[in-house]
Structure 1
Amino acid sequence: MALLTNLPTDLLRTFIAVVELGGHSKAGAVLGRSQPAISLQIRRLEELVRTPLLMQEGRAIHTTPAGEALLSYAREMVRINDEAVRYFHRSDMQGVLRIGLPTDYAVAFLQNTLTTFLRQNADVELEIHCDLSRELHQHLRSDDLDIIVATMPSARMPYLSRAWVEQPIWAAAESLKLSHARPVPLGAHLEGCDYRTRMIEALDAAERRWRIVYTGPGISGLQNAVLNGLCVTALTRATMMPGMRELQQEEGFPKLEPLRIGLFYKHPRLSPAGLQLVSDLVAGLESVGSGVRPVPG
């Protein structure tokens, strides 16, 4: 039987750091190694996989197609390795973690994961920041946040750990009566919200008139506006509430385009507590129902 090649986690960790931090020098500063040592590790990894992994364009370093493929495996292999090590080093779990979430995820299933994590790790403090996905991505890039859950404008994005598909649905109060002769009263988050964009695009494509009657940043205010019969909106099944009903295509509400959601973090910059929370979030994603389905990143 042919011997399989082992990919050492220290080489994979270095590869992730070079890609995510944008260079050998920055990766060396975080990992405590010289630039020549980082370059040597990358060459050794390329020898093991028998293909170039990185290419340079000017001062920028990019992954080759093979490097992009390896990056997904590398992140998962290093995450599992670190999870195993943390099992035997629970005393390292401390510090502050800054988490960015869209408002609907802040009140849905991730809330349970975060609460459980805090109960099990009393020395860790969480700071939760809720915002539009585009703002969360910017905060992660500038190191103002450690971990984010956000929508994905493209299928391949930096710092992606997990991706899944979310299907928005039309929601209205059970008692609300809608007339085709009048514009659809819409409730939405602020300009730039992906749910808002999908509602407008769907109604425009169906040539159905609409008007925004409620705008707000928080999910609870939007839910209350729907329950009070003020408007209809797009929600996920996790944020539907008793007293609401799903509006159907035969009522003039076309199916909404699905959303691709991702879990993002910079592995080289995360503390042991942060890496543990990532593992807990991944487990939470994989245990929920059909509304959230992990898909390849």
Structure 2
Amino acid sequence: MAGITNLPTDLLRTFITVVELGGHSRAGAALGRSQPAISLQIRRLEELVRAPLLTQEGRAILPTLAGEALLSYAREMVRINDEAVSYFHRSDKTGVLRIGLPTDYAVAFLQGTLTRYIRGHAEVELEVHCDLSRELHQHLRSDDLDIIVAVMPTARMPYLSRMWTEQPIWAAAEDFQLPAHAPVPLGAHPEGCDYRARMIQALDAVERRWRIVYTGPGISGLQNAVRNGLCVTALTRATMLSGMRMLTEADGFPALEPLRVGLFYKHPRLSAAGLQLVSDLVADLDRVGSGIHAVSV
């Protein structure tokens, strides 16, 4: 069609690589091209979109506002391109994939995706690491993990592919009753957990007393502590169990602040097997509901 500009995926891939690896030289090493060739590709892409895409601050190469806008489109376009190619190169999907998940996602709907992936890709070794979101982000930055799902402390973060909103809810045993002036017995993951912080902030905001009576890193231990009546906690709907009920403002529990959750990976570092898993995760996330959407960063 006349007037339509096509953005070549090789140029988009180079742009992503420069941004994610932090410079033309590193991008060239990763893509097997010289630094002048990388610079030429970036200039060509800038000509096509009619805007400067990169700026230098000190030694750092950063995307401009136009570059940030293009980055989210570029990541998705290259991912879909690589998904199509990997379909016809299925024998290339080998190796080890290291996945980082918060504990609640490890036992909720993402577990189904990972299980199906393992059954369909026996040649790929999957390693799942569960931790606090802040630790998962650090592991991704240091290349100790390939793909993570993690809570986002800020709206804009590097390596972001998908973002959605998760609404934590108060959970207690079905027969849980708390005397009017008693402090709220809280169950929580260790310090640094975003759910823990939101519970404390919500109770402090209404000047309601609380105390931590259960702390543990695992979701199953926390669920059992709640169901047995030891404590109340913040969960997602996916991790509510039979024998629990939701507490609301009518019960004296203020609404909890929602969480931003993202799917993150470094595209230049990911194998064909990793790109296929990202596509599977994106498909599952898109099926969950309207709260999940493609990111504009």
Q: TM-score, normalised to structure 1's length?
A: 0.98
Counterpart of 2:217 in structure 1 is 217
- 2:198 is matched by which residue type in structure 1? R
Query: What secondary structure does 1:157 align onto?
Result: coil
Is the Cα contact below 8 Å between 1:166 and 1:293 reproduced in 2? no
The residue type paired with residue 264 of structure 2 is F
Letter in 2 for 1:242: S
Number of residues paired by the alignment? 296
Offset at residue 48 of structure 1 (A): 0.3
* Structure 1 residue 83 corresponds to structure 2 residue 90: no
Distance 1:295 1:169 in 2: 25
How far is 1:295 from its partner? 5.3
Q: Aligned partners of 1:267, 1:201: CA distance in 2, in Å? A: 36
Distance 1:246 1:183 in 2: 18
- Structure 1, unpaired ranges of 5+: none
Aligned match of 1:101: 101
Residue 199 of structure 1 pairs with residue 213 of structure 2: no
What's the % identity of the aligned pairs? 81
Q: Is 2:235 the counterpart of 1:232?
A: no
Inter-partner Cα distance in structure 1 for 2:44 and 2:27: 16
Q: Write the mapping of 1:133-212 to structure 2, written as runs, cut at 5 A.
A: 133-212=133-212
CA distance in 1, matches of 2:182, 2:289: 36
Q: Hey, which bits of structure 1, 4+ residues long, moved more than 6 A?
A: none
8 A contact 1:86–1:276 mirrored in 2:
yes
2:162–2:292 CA contact under 8 A, matched in 1: no
Q: Residue deviations 1:116-156, cap 9 Å, x none?
A: 00111110010010000000000000000000000001111
Q: What is the DSSP-based 3-state SS (H/G/I as helix, E as strand, rest coil) of the residue aligned with 1:250?
A: helix
Query: Cα distance, 1:171 vs. partner?
Result: 0.1
264-273 vs 177-186, greater mean Cα deviation: 177-186
Equivalent residue for 1:41?
A: 41
Q: CA deviation at 1:294?
A: 2.7
Report how far residue 181 of structure 1 moved: 1.1
**Worse overlay, 263-272 or 280-289:** 280-289
State how far apart, in whole Å, the 2-side matches of 1:289 and 1:171 are. 22
Root-mean-square deviation over aligned CA pairs: 1.0
User: Take 2:237 and 2:283, find their aligned partners in 1: how far apart are those partners?
Assistant: 19
Preserved contact between residue 164 and residue 260 of structure 2 (Cα < 8 Å): yes
Q: Report the residue type matching 2:110 in the other structure.
A: L
> Does the CA contact (< 8 Å) of 2:185 and 2:231 recur in 1?
yes
